[in-house]
Chain A
């Protein structure tokens, strides 16, 4: 129970032990991923055979390190591109949506705001197949009626971007709308009364106020896109992003190079997370 009530030392220890065990459960899988990125063996398994950086910088046969593994690096770059596009689209559309929800008034607004949340409860696999099916219907239609081949509607990166965007924008919308809701509209009125144009007010008053939410939404969008698996799996063509590439390799077998790339991801996302936390505090 709570500290202000008498508790026996036993319950106190039991609780602390439980929380410690829980943290162990949370961090054990990450710890082994890190440890075996440096093990001098061809397979990420015990026993420990000594420290090596081969899985990062190695280039020898059977010991292709991360920085010599061209397909893996290419998929990493693909992921960064996809995530960048998804982030730009999500933040832009999310901002428009936030203004629509908080500032505009029109018939069907409540229905629209509910529909905007719907992508969050649709399983990612289903978002993927529905967009795949619809895009291929459009491509078929264009081919049959106009005789044009619209390649971007076939499985590939443009569809992956759209598929991820379709639900990540919901999250961006929620984040930005939540901050816009707390905005004191009299600040805008004051600026307008002082002779500023609408555009100037937006640019010098409202958007600067929204900046933390915009940055937060961008970071979350980037991360969610980077980590997305379900939707991407259904829409991917011949250029797999990193998660798909790693999944394929994990099914085939295991090489510590996957641990190496995982460690890189951990460091990168920790940097983003810390950056966000520091901004907030």
Chain B
């Protein structure tokens, strides 16, 4: 009997930190956020249930434009990251051998040990009007005067792709490494060309890695704040910025909470959709990345 009681005590002691963490820092705060988003102030310190915050989102073009724009740019950034990362992952997994292989892989990881702030600082020095690349363009005679390369949508995309690269390369490499070379050789011997081998063998095999990478990159891009605001400046119009403005600058927590929930719903929906389409389980994807 004593042993069983001991086991129950041990279980309780192990459960306590997990329950405290998930309850006090995840579940209850999100309930509070939901409650905040569903109320409206009718008089000082008097609130009633209402969908007014969500109505504002629909009625105010700036808000839902920003929302749609953030989602679209995140999708573009995710696809671009995948397209750029895939050949590199292929090279690391299948072409490079021995020391070169591990060296290349480590080289791809290194920049991401440095904080995003530092990486963004680098891009600002490269791209701003007085920066390195505009100067280079003038020196090469391509432009007559330095051009401002910051504060464009393309700049934001470059920054987002750059900052997401790691989360695409790693799952792709591990997915491609498990592909047996003899399958490709067999397909080649049977007369398959590069395109059909890619389409019918490589991509189906790498699908779990592609899905895992894309889901994580999309999620991180959607929730990014630093890169769009610094590289996009006033033109960035990123949705997390709206949340910050409502919450911190205007102190309109009800509106900010509604925006937060909308972003959370979008993010969750895309993750869920990605998992459904590729038939994977959430837990497996998170463990892989």
Q: Which residues of A contact B (CB under 8 A)?
A: 1-5, 15, 18-19, 22-23, 25-33, 36, 43-47, 92-93, 96-97, 99-100, 104, 106, 112-127, 129-135, 137, 162-163, 165-166, 169, 174, 178, 223, 226-227, 229-230, 233-234, 243, 246-247, 250-251, 254, 258-259, 262, 265-266, 269-270, 272-273, 277
Tell me if B118 and A30 are in contact (CB < 8 A). Answer: yes
Q: How large is the interface on B (under 10, 10 to 19, 20 to 34, 35 or more residues)?
A: 35 or more
* A-B contacts, 13 listed (Cβ < 8 Å): A2-B95, A5-B188, A29-B119, A29-B121, A29-B162, A32-B125, A100-B11, A100-B14, A115-B22, A126-B33, A135-B29, A229-B116, A230-B225
Q: Considering only CB atoms, which chain B residue lies closest to A272 in the complex?
A: B113
A residues less than 8 Å from B30 (CB atoms)? 130
Question: Could you tell me the distance in whole angstroms from the C-beta of A200 to the nearest C-beta in chain B?
Answer: 15
B104 to nearest A CB, angstroms?
Answer: 7
Taking the closest CB of chain B, its distance from the CB of A191, in whole angstroms, is 17
Asked if B260 contacts A229 (CB within 8 A), the reply is: no
B75 interfacial by beta-carbon distance below 8 Å? no
Interchain CA distance A127-B29 in the complex, whole Å: 8
Contact, CB under 8 Å: A174 / B113: no
7 other A-B residue contacts (CB within 8 Å) besides A4-B185, A22-B84, A104-B15:
A19-B88, A26-B111, A29-B119, A122-B264, A122-B267, A258-B121, A269-B115
Q: How far is the CA of A269 from the CA of B115 in the complex (A)?
A: 9
Interface SS of chain B: helix
Q: Which one, A45, A129, A135, contacts B257 given CB within 8 A? A: A129
Contact A18 B15 (CB under 8 A): no
Closest 8 CB pairs of A and B: A29-B122, A123-B223, A130-B29, A227-B115, A134-B29, A166-B25, A262-B118, A269-B113
Contacts of A104 in B (CB 8 A): 10-11, 14-15
Contact with A along B19-45 (1 / 0, CB 8 A): 001101111111011001000000000
B206 interface residue per 8 A CB criterion = no
Complex Cα distance, B90 from A3, in Å, reads 12
For B181, the closest partner residue in chain A by CB is: A2
Q: Is residue B287 within 8 Å, beta carbon to beta carbon, of the partner chain?
A: yes
Complex interface: stretch among B50-58, B60-68, B127-135: B127-135
Residue of B106, B114, B194 near A269 (CB, 8 A) is B114
Contacts A115-B22, A273-B110 given; does A126 touch B283 at CB 8 Å: no
The answer to whether A2 touches B184 (Cβ under 8 A) is yes
Q: Smallest distance from the beta carbon of B268 to chain A beta carbons, Å?
A: 7
The yes or no answer to B152 lying at the interface (CB within 8 A) is no
Known: A134-B32, A227-B116. A250 touches B230 (CB 8 A): yes
Q: Is the CB of A96 within 8 A of B223?
A: no
Tell me, rounded to whole Å, the shortest Cβ–Cβ distance linking B183 to chain A. Answer: 10
**Measured CA separation A3–B97 after assembly (Å):** 10
Q: Which residues of the other chain, B, contact A27 by a CB distance below 8 angstroms?
A: 111
Does the CB pair B225–A15 fall under 8 Å?
A: no
Q: Are A229 and B271 in contact (CB under 8 A)?
A: no
- Distance in angstroms from A91 CB to nearest chain B CB is 12
With A121-B268, A234-B247 known as contacts, the answer to whether A30 contacts B119 (CB < 8 A) is: yes
B144 → A minimal CB distance (Å): 17
Closest CB in chain B relative to A258 CB, distance in Å? 6
B46 at the interface (CB under 8 A from A): no
B165 CB–A CB distance under 8 Å: yes
Nearest CB on A from B256, distance (A): 6
